[in-house]
Amino acid sequence: MFDRFASLGCFILSLCLRIPLWLYSEYIFPFLYVLPFFQKYKTENYVYSNKLAEEVVNAADIISICAAHGYLVHEHVVKTQDDYLLTIHRIVRRQSGGQNTEPKKGVVYFHHGLLTNSELFLLGETTEKCLPFLLVDLGYDVWLGNNRGNKYSRKHINLSSRDAKFWDFSLDEYAIFDIPDTLQYILDVTKASKLSYIGFSQGSSQAFAAFSVNPQLRDKIRLFVGLSPAMIPRSLSHPVAKFLVTSSSELLYFIFGTRAILPSVVFWQRFLGPINYMKVVDWSLVYLFNWKSEHISLTQKQIGYTHMFSPSSVKSVVHWFQIINSKRFQMFQEEISKLYSSVPSLNGKLHRCAPFPVQVIENLPMMLLYGDQDILIDMQKTKENLVGNLKDVTLVELPGYEHMDTLWSEDVVDSVFKPILHKLEEVHTPAHTPAHTPADTPSHVEELNGKNSRTEYQGDSYEFA
C-alpha cells in the first residue's frame, strides 16, 4: 500500500513538469522552422568584439571552430565493446604558417565534462586561450574525446537514439568502455606506448573511475591532468538543486524521462539568439550555483556558453546525485527491493554498491588544478581517496577560482596553462635531453615558455615564477 501511495505522489509531482514539456513539444517546437527569421532579427545589429568571436559563436561544429582559429581537424570513429560509436577529434596542423604536419612529441588526450562535448576545450576567446592549439604548435599529437550520447556520439550498431535502451548508461559505462576503448584506439593509430590525459570536471572523474577498474590502462598513462577534478561533489545548497539531488531515482525519471537530458538546448539557443542565450545561462548559473564568474569576461561567456551544453543520459545525472547523497565515489546503484529500500538499516544489510576503488591507483603521475571557490568539488575527499598515490600528485590551488575558471578565466594562460605546459614538457622529454622549445614554435608559445624557466613548491601547491 505504501508503494502505491509513493508512486501516486511521484506521478502527481511529475505532472508539474511533464505538462509544460508536452505543451512545448506540441505547440512551441513547430516554431523551430521559422526561427532563422527571428534569429536574424535579434542578431543582425549586434557588433561582436572581434571577427574570431563572431565566427566561433556562429560555428556549427568543431570543424568550423578549428577553422576559425586556423587549424584543421580529423574525425575518427571508435567502436566500443558494447557497440556504441564514438566520434573523436584529432587536431592535425595549422592551415598556414609553415607548421610541420608530423607531431614531434607525445600524444595528449582531452576529455570534456558532464553535459558537454569535445568543443569545450576550443572555446577560448583567443587562440592562445585554447590549450589544445598551444600543444599542437609545440609539436604534440592532440586528440579530443566524446562520451556516448552527446552531439558527436549518438550512434549504436543495433540501437536507435530514440530507443530508451540507448540511453541506459552512466559513469559505469564511461569507465568500463568509453575511456579504455578510446585511449586504446588512439594508441593503436599513433603507435605510441603511452599518452597524457587532460580531463575537465567529469572528464577527470571518468579517468579516475577507468584507472581504478582497469590496471592495464594505468600503465598507458604518462601524465594525468585534472582541471576542476570532480570525484565526490559537495552537496548543493540551492533549494531546487537540493530537492533534485535528494529525490528518489523514480521521481527523477518521472520528471526528466529515461532518455536524454537537455535535448532542447539547441532549440533555445536558436530561439533566444546568442546574446540572450548567454544572459539566460549566466543568470541560471548564478541562481543555481552562485557562480559569480568574476574571472570570466563577457566575450568569453558569449563564446563559451553558445557551445557548452550537449545532451547526456538522465541516468548519468541520477548517478551523480547518488554519489553526492552517499558521499562515496561508487558505481550506479540499481533498483533493489522496495521493501528493503524503505528501511535503511535493512537496505544496508542487503546491498552495498560497488565502489570505484581509486585507492588502488599508485605510481601514476597526476596534476590537479582547482579553485578554492569551486563549490562543485571537495578536494579534501579527493585527496583522502587518492592517498595511495599522493606522492605522485601535484596539487595547484587557484585563489578565487570557480569551476569553469580553469578553462576560461582571464588569466588562465598564466595560472593554468603554464604549469601544465611545463609538466608535459617534463614528462615527455627524455631524462637525458634538456627541455627546449621547438624551433618552429609560434611566438606566442615561445613567450609562454620563456616565462617558465623554474618552478617553486609551496606546501602542496605548484607555482611558476
**CATH number of the CATH domain containing 160:** 3.40.50.1820
Q: What's the pLDDT at 336?
A: 63
In sequence order, what E strands does 228-383 have? Answer: 260-261, 312-313, 366-371
Give the phi and the psi of residue 424 in degrees, each rounded to 5: -65, -40
Which residues lie below 8 Å from residue 184, measured CB to CB, with a gap of 6+?
A: 220
Kindly state the DSSP code that residue 435 receives in the 8-state scheme.
-
Q: What's the pLDDT at 41?
A: 46
Q: How many CB atoms lie within 10 A of CB 284?
A: 12
Question: Rounded distance, CA 378 to CA 376, Å?
Answer: 7
Q: Indicate the SS3 state at residue 236.
A: coil
Cα 332 from chain centroid (whole Å):
19
Q: Indicate the SS3 state at residue 341.
A: helix
Contact 82, 173 (CB under 8 A): yes
Q: What's the pLDDT at 431?
A: 60
Q: What's the pLDDT at 361?
A: 94
Q: Is 374 a catalytic residue?
A: yes
Q: What's the pLDDT at 13?
A: 59
Q: Is 238 a catalytic residue?
A: no
Cell numbers for 367, please give them.
596534476
Task: Report the sign of the C-alpha dihedral through residues 114, 225, 228, 56, in that order.
Answer: negative
Cell numbers for 364, please give them.
601514476
Question: Rounded distance, CA 211 to CA 221, Å?
Answer: 9
Give the phi and the psi of residue 72 in degrees, each rounded to 5: -105, 160
Question: Rounded distance, CA 92 to CA 63, Å?
Answer: 12
Contact 91, 72 (CB under 8 A): yes
The rounded average pLDDT for each run of 10 residues, N- to C-terminus, in the chain (465 residues) is 55 59 52 48 65 94 97 97 98 65 83 97 97 96 98 97 97 98 98 97 98 96 97 85 86 91 77 81 84 92 93 96 94 72 59 91 95 93 88 94 97 98 92 44 49 36 36
Length reported for the chain: 465
**Closest-CA residue to 427 (of 221, 169, 205):** 221
**Closest-CA residue to 107 (of 65, 148, 146, 144):** 144
Q: Which residues is 36 bridged to in the sheet? A: none
* Long-range pairs for 45-48: beta carbons < 8 A, 24 or more residues apart: 46/275
Question: Rounded distance, CA 252 to CA 257, Å?
Answer: 8
Radius of gyration of the CA atoms of the chain, in A: 22
Spot the catalytic one: 374, 409, 415, 428. Answer: 374
Q: What's the pLDDT at 284?
A: 86
Q: What's the pLDDT at 28?
A: 52
Q: What's the pLDDT at 95?
A: 60
* 78 torsion bin: left (phi>0), alpha (psi -120 to 50), beta (else): beta
Domain that holds residue 447: 2-464
Which run of H or E residues covers position 324?
A: helix 314-326
End-to-end CA gap in the chain: 67
**Closest-CA residue to 115 (of 146, 77, 92, 80):** 146
DSSP string, 17-63: HHHHHHHIIIIIGGGGGGHHHHHHHHHTT---SSHHHHHHHT--SHH
Look up residue 183 and give its amino acid.
Answer: L
Spot the catalytic one: 14, 118, 153, 201. Answer: 201
Contact 55, 45 (CB under 8 A): no
Whether the predicted model's global pTM rises above the 0.75 cut: yes
Q: Is 403 a catalytic residue?
A: yes
Question: Rounded distance, CA 239 to CA 436, Å?
Answer: 52
The count of domains in the chain is: 1
Q: Which residue has the cell 559537495?
A: 234
In sequence order, what E strands does 161-306 have? Answer: 195-200, 221-227, 260-261
Look up residue 249 and give its amino acid.
Answer: S
Kindly state the DSSP code that residue 330 receives in the 8-state scheme.
B
Cell numbers for 1, please give them.
500500500
Task: Report the sign of the C-alpha dihedral through residues 184, 188, 194, 195, in that order.
Answer: negative
Q: What's the pLDDT at 393?
A: 94
Q: Which residues is 221 bridged to in the sheet? A: 195
Spot the catalytic one: 112, 156, 403, 422. Answer: 403
Cell numbers for 220, please give them.
598507458
